């Protein structure tokens, strides 16, 4: 008897004890749950602008935490050492929701406004993010999710009331590109549209030479975002060779600036990153 995971569109059908495609969810006692619950591989008090969020409490800091696993397969992943591994392949520390929220609260004196779930894909650890977010709200702490946006509508709607801000990583505006990553564009577009109706959203795109760097694609992307709101901040970031994509040069700085200028024809808040 297999059980279906309903967090993301992969809809993994898992036997007892089997891990999903993301390496962070598992079938236990006939239910699919977060196998990486409370398992932290990275933690840092970061400037909010590093998420990047430029229009959400600028100048503040946020306690950033990550686990392991991801439901996409980006060959250019910057955090592949934690996102593309199983729990048996990496060191991690265990923390309770109460412990994490207490730590975040104690950092308020250093400018901390809350917790950012980030570094790997946080929403595969859905239950942990939800539980911590509930506890954080009780302490008047903000909840931020830095995500690839590859999540089903029902769990997204359920968690949205607990989240104050998202940065959503839009990999490309081409579904063919998304197929290479084992995802799909329409799901991420839906996440952006849905989240924008409920909380603060900023979008990031990493520009990779020869992959998603055409002016036509940026015109389509920025036109679509403008249709939701011309005020949505768009971060256009420069690619550097990483993981399995070391066969090409870093994105020319002039390419990032050219695409940013195209986006500015439709969007009011466009920022160049990694330049």
Asked whether the CA dihedral 223, 228, 231, 234 is positive or negative, the reply is: negative
Asked whether the CA dihedral 28, 33, 36, 37 is positive or negative, the reply is: negative
Output the pLDDT for position 1.
86
pLDDT above 90 (res 128): yes
Q: Mean of the pLDDT values across residues 147-171? A: 98
C-alpha 137/C-alpha 151 separation (Å) is 23
Q: Mean of the pLDDT values across residues 32-38? A: 98
Find out whether 142 and 152 touch, Cβ atoms under 8 Å.
no
Please state, for a pLDDT cut of 70, what percent of the chain lies above it: 100
Tell me the pLDDT band of 51, cut-offs 50, 70 and 90. very high
For residue 169, give both structure tokens.
Answer: 């990583």
Find out whether 36 and 68 touch, Cβ atoms under 8 Å.
yes
Output the pLDDT for position 59.
98
pLDDT above 90 (res 261): yes
Q: Whole-number mean pLDDT of the chain? A: 98
Domain count, the chain: 1
Output the pLDDT for position 150.
99
DSSP 237: E
Domain with 249 in it: 3-273
Any idea what the CATH number is for the domain that residue 9 is in? 3.20.20.70
């Amino acid at each position: 008897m297999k059980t279906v995971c309903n967090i993301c569109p992969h809809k993994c059908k898992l036997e007892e004890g089997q891990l999903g495609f993301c390496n962070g969810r598992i079938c236990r006692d006939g239910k699919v749950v977060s196998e990486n619950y409370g398992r932290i591989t990275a933690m840092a008090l970061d400037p909010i602008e590093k998420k990047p969020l430029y229009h959400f409490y600028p100048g503040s800091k946020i306690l950033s935490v990550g686990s392991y696993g991801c439901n996409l397969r980006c060959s250019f992943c910057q955090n592949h050492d934690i996102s593309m591994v199983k729990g048996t392949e990496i060191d991690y520390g265990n923390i309770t929701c109460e412990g994490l929220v207490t730590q975040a609260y104690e950092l308020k004196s250093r400018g901390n406004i809350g917790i950012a779930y980030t570094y790997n894909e946080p929403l595969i650890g859905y239950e942990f993010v939800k539980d911590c977010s509930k506890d954080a709200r009780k302490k008047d702490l903000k909840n931020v999710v830095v995500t690839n946006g590859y999540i089903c509508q029902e769990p997204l709607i359920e968690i949205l009331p607990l989240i104050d801000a998202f940065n959503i990583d839009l990999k490309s505006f081409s579904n063919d590109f998304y197929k290479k990553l084992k995802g799909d564009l329409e799901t991420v577009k839906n996440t952006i549209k849905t989240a924008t109706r409920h909380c603060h959203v900023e979008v990031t795109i990493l520009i990779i030479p020869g992959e998603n760097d055409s002016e036509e694609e940026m015109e389509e992307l920025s036109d679509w975002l403008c249709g939701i709101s011309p005020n949505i901040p768009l971060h256009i970031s420069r690619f550097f060779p990483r993981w399995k994509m070391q066969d090409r040069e870093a994105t020319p700085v002039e390419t990032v600036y050219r695409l940013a200028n195209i986006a500015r024809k439709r969007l009011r808040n466009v920022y160049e990153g990694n330049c």
